Amino acid sequence: SEDSGKYTCDNGNEQTTATLTVKALPVTFTQPLQNQQAEEGGTITLSCEVSKSNVTVQWKKAGKVLRPSDKYKMHQAGSVAELTIHNLSGADA
């Protein structure tokens, strides 16, 4: 963290120095994904929120990383991440 480091208090005659260590908190989900139902041929957006802004998330289906395409659109603004799936089919379940 940029605030970690040595800090000194100086009274003009003496100095005292201490080291500050700032531990990074783990990123957690403040709003998890919710189960959804949608109709074939439709479009759906899955949304989740993380505890820190601008932390990059990865979207996966069955463990496989999804890449942006005509079918999959990823959007992230601050701490909210969205995955929009277009032209839904049974294989998308």
Can you tell me the mean pLDDT for 68-84?
96
Which one, of 85, 27, 43, lies nearest residue 61 by Cα? Answer: 85
Domain of residue 60: give its range: 29-85
Question: Which whole-number Å values give the CA distances from 43 to 11, 33, 34, 36, 86, in the listed order?
Answer: 66, 16, 16, 12, 4
- Predicted confidence band at 72 (pLDDT cuts at 50, 70, 90)? very high
What gap in Å lies between CA 27 and CA 50, rounded to an integer? 7
Position 74 in a domain: yes
**Domain assignment of residue 61, yes or no:** yes
In whole angstroms, what is the distance from residue 46 CA to residue 57 CA?
A: 13
* Residue 10: pLDDT over 90: yes
Does some domain include residue 21?
no
Q: Confirm whether 22 is domain-assigned.
A: no
On the question of pLDDT at 46 being above 90, the answer is: yes
Residue 10 lies in a domain: no
Question: Considering its fold, how many domains does the chain have in total?
Answer: 1
> Which CATH number is 74's domain given?
2.60.40.10
Tokens found for residue 48: 């989740």
Asked, for residue 4, whether it belongs to a domain, the answer is no
Judged against a pLDDT cut of 80, whether residue 1 lies above it is answered with no
| Arithmetic mean of pLDDT over the chain | 94
- Higher pLDDT pick, 55 / 1: 55
Residue 34 confidence (pLDDT) above 80: yes
Arithmetic mean of pLDDT, 17-44: 94
User: Is there a domain that residue 20 lies in?
Assistant: no
